[in-house]
Amino acid sequence: MAAVVQQSRSQPPPDDRRGHYRADIQGLRAIAVLAVVANHMAGWPAGSFVGVDVFFVISGYLITGILVREFETRQTISFRVFYTRRIKRILPAGLFVIGATVCATRVLAGIDRYHFAAKDAIAAVLFVANWHFARTGVNYFNRSLPPSPLQHYWSLSVEEQFYFVWPWLMLGLLLIGLRLRFWRHEHARLVAGVAIAVLSGISLAWAFVETASNPTAAYFSTFVRAWELGLGALIALAAAPLARCDRRLRRVVAWVGLVGVLCSLFTVSSSSGFPAPWALLPTLSTAAVLGAGAGLSGRSLLALSNPVSQYLGKISYSLYLWHFPVVVLILTVVPRYSVAYWVAGLALIFGLSAASFHLLEDPARRGTWFRQRPGRLPIPATGWLRYAAACAITAVLAGAALLAVRAISPTRLVLPAAVLIGHTQDDPSNCIGAAALDPRHRCARLNSGDRVAPLPGELPDDTGGAYACFAYLSQPIHPCGYGSLRPNAIRVALVGDSHAAALLAALEPQLDALNWRVTAFTGQTCQWLPAYLSPACPGLRVIQRSLLRDRYAIVIATEIRVYTSSIAEHLEAMRPVAATGTRIVVVEDDPSVSPASTACVTRITYSATGNCGTRATIAYQAPDLLAQAAERIPGARVVQTRRFYCRHGFCPATIGNVLVYRDTAAHVTASYARTLSPYLVEAIEHVLPTALH
């Protein structure tokens, strides 16, 4: 994307003169950036995310062409000129958008997402955002949170890493060859082409391997994406022989390539086979346009060379920088796909992009670093003073906006200690959290006032330490013990995934009083299944062996209600444990939460007395297969939980002024779980034999 910036007009080196300007490339940039904007804003067309792949090919083409032409002209490559131009093109606008996005995140999205954004910003500034997001992208809880407003910087990092390595590698190959007399100066393109072809072939082969085994890492990996930049580089090196081909044939090839790019926007799927092999369609199509379009008149490719495409291509770098923060953060103000979303979103994206290009990006690209003054120290040129002023104004506006948002935001509700079991109705005036749904309490309204716990901006961290011993994807299980340490403590096992781990915040306050010693066996994708059916949870074999060998008095289990496993598969794992005499209690999973409900809570207009929530028909649309399996095992019991989350066919996002969910994956907040504690444990005790009370 960095090479998307318009060619400089301020006395460039020979390889960057206007003679090499390509209107068709500018039009390709326009298509690519509009596709990316459409993908992130509308989710349509289905394959419009391949606009990034188009940019990769264009970048490889432009940068390699610049370097090879310079070497052919000067027999060397000026790294000072090359990196100065890259810095002036990329950093001013890129850093400003990072700073503005971090400020806007603090104002609109709360302290927790601000902390995430600050870490993302550091990775983006250091050009390692792709590796950063590859690492955090596989985190289960990160996937259930809104995306980072800086996530799109991953592609810029891939390109910058390419820029750091490729000029040095190419110059080294050329100089070594010349010194050893393997080739002459006129063979520079052939030498570079062979090297790029070999490296790109290795990268493409690795892309197939990684896409099949680790698609998230493959998507962000520089090594996996290098072949796309290499493809553009190969076309740049073959420009001369391609230009000698018949003009009519090249016009046909260019149009076929353009049609291929457009078709890829509608046919490529992200669900499987991407980036390899599906990225081949948009990249090869882009390569066809680049290779065949050189020297063709603007009228030959009017779809790319018209004034609208030219302007959008000119500001495409700014469009790419601004669109994703706007798309992510505007949801903190207005609902997705509402009229305000489209009007304000598009106005902000194109307005900020045009202003950024004309006021910051283009002046910085054209300008000098300092003004020389005879007999005095040089001072920054006017463009940089304007840049500093824009940064200062942004900081002041962010500070003022933060004060305004705080003035309309809910205040913190300090929760009392969890009520012990048996005392759930001691204070009928208690209407905090789950007590608000207790018919024994005199609660006139479900929520009242403007105090909530936790604050919406603190939702991701409201775990109560329940995931301290959680096994993430493919990690070995590492169980932890909670509760009573008395020798006669009743041994209890808690089994399941992240929803089971969330139960700890509800169970823990009652354990000493119950004389329970709970061992938590929780991990990502760790459904209670036979081990061979869930290879992503390597601890399942350990869990099952412990349940059979250690003879727990009670096994409490739950899991998220979206899995595709079958009742029979659950029964295969549960029946042997039930046969040992262990009492199995399945806690019905909490209801699913709609994305609209989660977005409603995190909006700056959120009010505790508002109507954020999910209809019960949607929340319970997916069946709880684990609970259905338990109903078929003699002696096993199911604890129904709908009454703890829903009433009158609606599952509110806020109950008793306590926020119920942390994220879109329906992980219950520790705050709500603590208020639910006496009710849930009372229900569990109710289904157990008296001897286990």
Residue pLDDT, tens place only, 427-470: 788 899 999 999 888 898 999 999 999 999 899 889 999 999 89
pLDDT of residue 544: 93
Look up residue 613 and give its DSSP letter: E
pLDDT tens-digit series, residues 234-251: 999 888 888 788 888 989
Confirm if 602 and 332 have CB atoms less than 8 A apart. Answer: yes
Confirm if 13 and 70 have CB atoms less than 8 A apart. Answer: yes
pLDDT at 372 over 80: no
Closest Cα partner for 585 from 544, 640, 529? 640
Q: Give CA 132 to chain center in angstroms.
A: 11
Residue 496: enclosing H or E segment and its boundaries?
strand 490-496
pLDDT tens-digit series, residues 491-509: 999 999 999 999 999 999 9
Residue with tokens 């109705």: 425
Q: Is residue 408 assigned to a domain?
A: no
For 652, the 3-state DSSP assignment is strand
Question: What region does 480 belong to: left with phi over 0, alpha with psi -120 to 50, or beta?
Answer: beta
Residue 412: enclosing H or E segment and its boundaries?
strand 411-412
What lies within 8 Å, CB to CB, of 26 at 6+ separation is 6, 304, 305, 309, 310, 313, 314
Q: Give yes or no: residues 359 and 444 share one domain.
A: no
pLDDT at 286 over 70: yes
In a 10 Å sphere around its CB, with 0-12 CB exposed, 13-18 middle and 19+ buried, how is residue 656 labelled? buried
pLDDT tens-digit series, residues 204-237: 999 999 998 888 889 999 999 999 999 999 999 8
Pairing of strands 654-655, 411-412: unpaired
Between the alpha carbon of residue 315 and those of residues 29, 309, 311, 387, the distances in Å are 9, 10, 6, 18
Q: Which of 320, 340, 367 is the last residue of a domain?
A: 367
Neighbouring C-alpha atoms within 13 Å toward the C-beta of 269: 3
Confirm if 320 and 349 have CB atoms less than 8 A apart. Answer: no
Q: Is residue 563 assigned to a domain?
A: yes
Q: Is residue 268 assigned to a domain?
A: yes
How confident is residue 388, by pLDDT bands cut at 50, 70 and 90? confident
Give me Rg for the CA atoms of the chain.
30
Reported in sequence order, the residue ranges of 523-663 that DSSP labels E, i.e. its strands, are 554-558, 583-587, 613-615, 637-639, 650-652, 654-655, 658-659
Between the alpha carbon of residue 32 and those of residues 125, 219, 347, the distances in Å are 24, 18, 19
pLDDT at 111 over 90: no
Neighbouring C-alpha atoms within 13 Å toward the C-beta of 590: 30
Q: Is residue 286 assigned to a domain?
A: yes
Q: Give yes or no: residues 347 and 441 share one domain.
A: no
Strand order in the sheet with 480-483: 480-483, 516-522, 490-496, 554-558, 583-587, 637-639
How far is the C-alpha of 122 from the C-alpha of 105, rounded, in Å? 15
What does residue 550 show for φ and ψ, rounded to 5 degrees?
-90, -5
pLDDT tens-digit series, residues 180-203: 555 565 666 777 788 889 999 999
pLDDT of residue 189: 73
What lies within 8 Å, CB to CB, of 524 at 6+ separation is 140, 470, 471, 472, 473, 475, 497, 498, 536, 537
Q: Give yes or no: residues 448 and 359 share one domain.
A: no
Longest CA pairwise span in the chain (Å): 95
Confirm if 608 and 451 have CB atoms less than 8 A apart. Answer: yes
Closest Cα partner for 597 from 618, 616, 612, 619? 612
Pairing of strands 490-496, 411-412: unpaired
pLDDT of residue 214: 85
pLDDT at 381 over 80: no
Residue 676: enclosing H or E segment and its boundaries?
helix 670-686
Question: What region does 9 belong to: left with phi over 0, alpha with psi -120 to 50, or beta?
Answer: alpha
pLDDT of residue 364: 84
Q: Which of 367, 400, 424 is the last residue of a domain?
A: 367
Q: Is residue 377 assigned to a domain?
A: no
Q: Give yes or no: residues 348 and 477 share one domain.
A: no
Q: Is residue 211 assigned to a domain?
A: yes
How far is the C-alpha of 39 from the C-alpha of 33, rounded, in Å? 10
What does residue 373 show for φ and ψ, rounded to 5 degrees?
-130, 120
pLDDT tens-digit series, residues 569-587: 999 999 999 999 999 999 9
Q: Give yes or no: residues 560 and 653 share one domain.
A: yes
Q: Give yes or no: residues 353 and 440 share one domain.
A: no
Closest Cα partner for 68 from 180, 176, 192? 192
Q: Give yes or no: residues 198 and 290 share one domain.
A: yes
Structure tokens belonging to residue 38: 């459409």
pLDDT at 379 over 90: no
pLDDT tens-digit series, residues 144-178: 678 899 999 999 999 999 988 888 887 777 666 66
Lowest mean pLDDT among 125-139, 369-383, 469-483, 533-547: 369-383
What lies within 8 Å, CB to CB, of 586 at 6+ separation is 556, 557, 558, 626, 627, 629, 630, 636, 637, 638, 639
For 510, the 3-state DSSP assignment is helix
Q: What is the DSSP string of 202-263?
A: HHHHHHHHHHHH-HHHHHH-HHHHHHHHHHHHHHHHTHHHHHTS-HHHHHHHHHHHHHHHHH
pLDDT of residue 176: 67
Reported in sequence order, the residue ranges of 528-612 that DSSP labels E, i.e. its strands, are 554-558, 583-587
Structure tokens belonging to residue 295: 């020297």
Q: Give yes or no: residues 356 and 458 share one domain.
A: no
State the CATH number of the domain containing residue 546: 3.40.50.1110
For 94, the 3-state DSSP assignment is helix
Q: Is residue 682 assigned to a domain?
A: yes
pLDDT of residue 169: 81
How confident is residue 656, by pLDDT bands cut at 50, 70 and 90? very high
Q: Give yes or no: residues 483 and 342 share one domain.
A: no
Confirm if 420 and 678 have CB atoms less than 8 A apart. Answer: yes
Say which residue, 117 or 74, is predicted with more confidence.
117
Confirm if 614 and 593 have CB atoms less than 8 A apart. Answer: yes
Q: Is residue 579 assigned to a domain?
A: yes
Give me the number of domains the chain comprises: 2
For 518, the 3-state DSSP assignment is strand
Structure tokens belonging to residue 334: 């207005």
Confirm if 631 and 426 have CB atoms less than 8 A apart. Answer: no
Lowest mean pLDDT among 70-79, 342-351, 394-403, 414-423: 70-79
Q: Which domain covers residue 456, as residue numbers? A: 433-692
How confident is residue 294, by pLDDT bands cut at 50, 70 and 90? confident
Closest Cα partner for 51 from 63, 69, 41, 37? 37
Q: Which of 326, 342, 367 is the last residue of a domain?
A: 367
Q: Give yes or no: residues 349 and 439 share one domain.
A: no
Q: Give CA 353 to chain center in angstroms.
A: 22
pLDDT of residue 366: 81
pLDDT of residue 1: 52
Q: Give yes or no: residues 152 and 32 share one domain.
A: yes
